[in-house]
């Protein structure tokens, strides 16, 4: 393929930051959306814009008691930006959850009213589902327990004077809000309370949102509405790339929602990838938005290879090892032989299956409302198991009494200050009670047993060792938990007949029930995975990161997903009727979602890229990707055995 960078293009993006800086005049602010593709230095542009504000507007902002707010997606991103700005107090850098709570934290009466209406609505939905459902099934019992818990929470709202919330905590106390509630409340308050809008704009006349394409759609709509209402005194700066939207709750079609009077600078240089990989990702996204990148003139050429295997290939781990040898031969780079490459999995079911936590993962991933928090590790009901139960059991079984004490002091309600105070002179008894609870929990693993999450949950309820979230409290004290697997399967078959009539709440309850029946031991692999400690990276975990050598593994059969299809993207499978309808109406299709994931993973490579794809029709995939100009015939290899 020809090199598009024969001329010096080092000044291609020279005017981008000047265009952004011109938007930051407090007397005449202008909002903007910076399109910054992979490897273009988006964070650098964000930091440089903040430094411009520090230089040009510090005195004016400080005298008025105002500042600049920056919303990032992760705590790590927050720390990186703070460090680059030398922790300047003029700039408030926080995650979206932290900023949301800072806005609504003082409105306790309004929060109570919002919760009351929200709980009432959920109760209406539950009772409607109960009226339609079949009596005597587990689904019916789950609904009744959910109704009871909802009514209990509704009844105690008036006794809560102040609500609490921690962006990094589990928020399980009676007076706490969960993550989704804080986002929902903040979005509704920002839309419906002009006073709160004025407070926000008065405090922060400039707000930057990093990874804006993945910011919760309801909050993004609220910010866009505020900008339109306050455009003469408010600058909203969005940084991101719609091709890299990877979370389901991000705003679909954000680029179409940008008002015509905004600035829309575009960064076209990719400083990360070599020329050949830039050519590939340009072709991948060409059907999506037409945004093209180039590499600096002095970038290396780089290498890409596309290996295709049949779906029925046995011993995939052994088979995939040979590609490292092939890549070493192609590139002359011994790093491939030394295992110095990153393997990226394009769909979470693939990683779950390969790492051994697919049984616990699959039923929860099917619940759309939980999907984002499941993937980023913030789901409090799972953190009970991963951050409290797992470490305390591991510490106890390794005779680490100090670690056991540390965990229980931090998490157990038995050792909370109020519990110890209530015990008075009997505090030693309370400590002994905690130790006994840990012993009882650890017994579940005696004789090499592998307890289920349900058995662990029942033990926690009996010992009161840790606080159980409402989402799991529904499933406690059930006499039928000892029924045979056949009976559970029979009940599920009955419930499946009701599927068309069940609500999303029914689906969520069933998902939690299926999860609780799976082995607890899978939580370790899951926890390592979401923490980025597993051998595999995914599109969520690696966005913004870069690696010299990247191997991408693609398999629809392993992924078992219905929202993505690499067979469709690679031309081996026809579009479905729903894809065609969505395409005609301008809505997102399966191919759109898959294209974005493929773009994100391929664009991590700094030197060489190997793609390993499993397909029902290897020859069709080869013909399609070569015909589309993604790869040359020499770069594609089909293996049949």
Tokens at 607, concatenated: 């030197």
Q: Match 């068309």 to its residue by tokens.
A: 500
Q: Give the residue ranges of DSSP H helices in 26-107.
A: 42-63, 75-84, 96-104
CA 474 and chain centroid, separation: 26
Three-state secondary-structure class, residue 335 = coil
Q: Is the dihedral of CA 158, 160, 164, 165 positive or negative?
A: negative
Q: What is the dihedral angle through the alpha carbons of 65, 70, 76, 82, rounded to the nearest 10 degrees?
A: -40
Q: Annotation-wise, does 586 bind a ligand?
A: no
Separation CA 90–CA 108 (nearest Å): 28
Q: What is the dihedral angle through the alpha carbons of 572, 578, 581, 582, rounded to the nearest 10 degrees?
A: -90
Separation CA 242–CA 175 (nearest Å): 37
Q: Annotation-wise, does 290 bind a ligand?
A: no
Separation CA 179–CA 166 (nearest Å): 9
Three-state secondary-structure class, residue 142 = helix
Separation CA 588–CA 45 (nearest Å): 30
Tokens at 490, concatenated: 């029979």
Q: Annotation-wise, does 39 bind a ligand?
A: yes
Tokens at 412, concatenated: 């157990």
Q: What are phi and psi of 58, to 5 degrees?
A: -55, -50
Q: Return the closest-CA partner of residue 385 out of 457, 449, 461.
A: 457
Separation CA 333–CA 352 (nearest Å): 30
Residue 379 makes CB contacts below 8 A (sequence gap 6+) with 364, 370, 373
Asked if residues 273 and 600 have their Cβ atoms less than 8 Å apart, the reply is no
Question: How buried is 369 (Cβ within 10 angstroms: 0-12 exposed, 13-18 middle, 19+ buried)?
Answer: middle
Q: Annotation-wise, does 532 bind a ligand?
A: no
3-state helix, strand, coil in the chain (%, to 5): 55, 10, 30
Separation CA 542–CA 344 (nearest Å): 8
Separation CA 126–CA 342 (nearest Å): 45
Q: Annotation-wise, does 299 bind a ligand?
A: no
What are the angstrom distances between the C-alpha of 438 and each of 435, 455, 457, 471? 5, 14, 13, 23
CA 544 and chain centroid, separation: 14
Residue 81 makes CB contacts below 8 A (sequence gap 6+) with 43, 46, 47, 50, 70, 72, 91, 93, 210
581-585, Cβ contacts within 8 angstroms, sequence gap of 24 or more: none
Separation CA 426–CA 418 (nearest Å): 13
Separation CA 315–CA 312 (nearest Å): 10
Tokens at 622, concatenated: 């080869």
Q: Annotation-wise, does 473 bind a ligand?
A: no
Beta bridge pairs of residue 615: 310
- For residue 221, how many C-alpha atoms fall within 13 Å in the half-sphere facing its CB? 16
Asked if residues 301 and 276 have their Cβ atoms less than 8 Å apart, the reply is yes
Binding-site residues for ATP, in ranges, read 36-43
Binding-site residues, in ranges, read 36-43
């Amino acid at each position: 393929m020809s090199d598009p960078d024969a001329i010096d293009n080092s000044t291609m993006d020279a005017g981008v930051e000047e265009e952004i800086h011109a938007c930051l005049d407090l007397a005449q602010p202008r909002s903007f959306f910076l399109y910054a593709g992979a490897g273009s230095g988006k964070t650098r542009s964000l930091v440089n814009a903040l430094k411009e504000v520090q230089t040009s507007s510090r005195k004016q902002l400080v005298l008025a008691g105002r500042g600049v707010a920056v919303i990032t997606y992760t705590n790590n991103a927050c720390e990186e930006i703070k460090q680059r700005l030398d922790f300047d107090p003029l700039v408030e850098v926080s995650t979206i959850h932290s900023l949301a709570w800072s806005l609504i934290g003082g409105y306790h009466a309004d929060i109570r009213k919002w919760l009351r209406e929200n709980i009432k609505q959920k109760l209406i939905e539950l009772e409607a589902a109960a009226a339609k459902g079949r009596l005597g099934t587990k689904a019916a019992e789950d609904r009744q327990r959910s109704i009871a818990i909802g009514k209990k929470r509704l009844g105690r709202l008036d006794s809560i004077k102040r609500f609490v919330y921690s962006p990094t905590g589990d928020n399980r106390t009676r007076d706490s809000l969960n993550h989704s509630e804080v986002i929902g409340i903040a979005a509704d308050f920002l839309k419906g309370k002009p006073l709160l809008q004025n407070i926000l704009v008065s405090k922060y006349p400039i707000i930057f949102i990093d990874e804006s394409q993945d910011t919760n759609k309801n909050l993004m709509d609220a910010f866009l509405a505020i900008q339109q209402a306050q455009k003469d005194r408010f600058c909203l700066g969005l940084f991101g790339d719609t091709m890299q939207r990877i979370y389901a709750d991000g705003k679909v079609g954000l680029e179409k929602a940008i008002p015509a009077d905004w600035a829309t600078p575009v960064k076209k240089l990719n400083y990360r990838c070599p020329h050949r990989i830039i050519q590939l990702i340009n072709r991948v996204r060409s059907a999506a938005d037409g945004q093209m990148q180039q590499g600096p003139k002095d970038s290396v050429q780089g290498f890409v290879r596309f290996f295709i295997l049949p779906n029925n290939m046995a011993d995939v781990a052994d088979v995939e090892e040979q590609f490292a040898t092939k890549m070493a031969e192609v590139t002359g780079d011994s790093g491939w032989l030394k295992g110095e490459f990153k393997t990226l999995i394009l769909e979470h079911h693939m990683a779950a299956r390969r790492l051994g936590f697919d049984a616990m993962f699959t039923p929860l991933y099917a619940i759309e409302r939980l999907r984002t928090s499941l993937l980023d590790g913030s789901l409090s009901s799972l953190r009970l198991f991963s951050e409290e139960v797992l470490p305390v059991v591991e510490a106890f079984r390794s005779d680490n009494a100090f670690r056991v004490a540390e965990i229980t002091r931090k998490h157990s309600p038995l050792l909370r200050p109020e519990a110890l105070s209530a015990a008075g002179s009997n505090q030693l008894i309370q400590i002994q009670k905690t130790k006994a609870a840990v012993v009882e929990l650890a017994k579940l693993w005696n004789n090499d047993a592998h307890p289920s999450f349900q058995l662990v949950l029942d033990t926690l309820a009996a010992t009161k060792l840790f606080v159980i979230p409402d989402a799991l409290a529904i499933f406690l004290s059930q006499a039928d938990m000892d029924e045979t697997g056949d009976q559970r399967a029979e009940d599920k078959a009955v419930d499946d007949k009701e599927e068309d009539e069940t609500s999303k709440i029914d689906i969520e309850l069933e998902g939690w029930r299926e999860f609780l029946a799976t082995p607890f031991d899978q939580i370790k692999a899951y926890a390592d995975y979401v923490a980025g400690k597993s051998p595999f990276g995914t599109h969520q975990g690696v966005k913004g990161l870069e690696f010299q050598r990247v191997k991408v593994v693609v398999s629809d059969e392993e992924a078992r997903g219905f929202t993505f299809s690499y067979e469709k993207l690679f031309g081996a499978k026809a579009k479905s009727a729903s894809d065609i309808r969505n395409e005609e109406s301008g809505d997102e299709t399966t191919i759109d979602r898959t294209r974005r994931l493929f773009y994100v993973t391929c664009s991590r490579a700094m030197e060489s890229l190997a793609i390993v794809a499993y397909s029902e029709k290897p020859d069709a995939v080869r013909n399609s990707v070569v015909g589309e100009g993604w790869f040359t015939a020499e770069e594609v290899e089909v293996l049949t055995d």
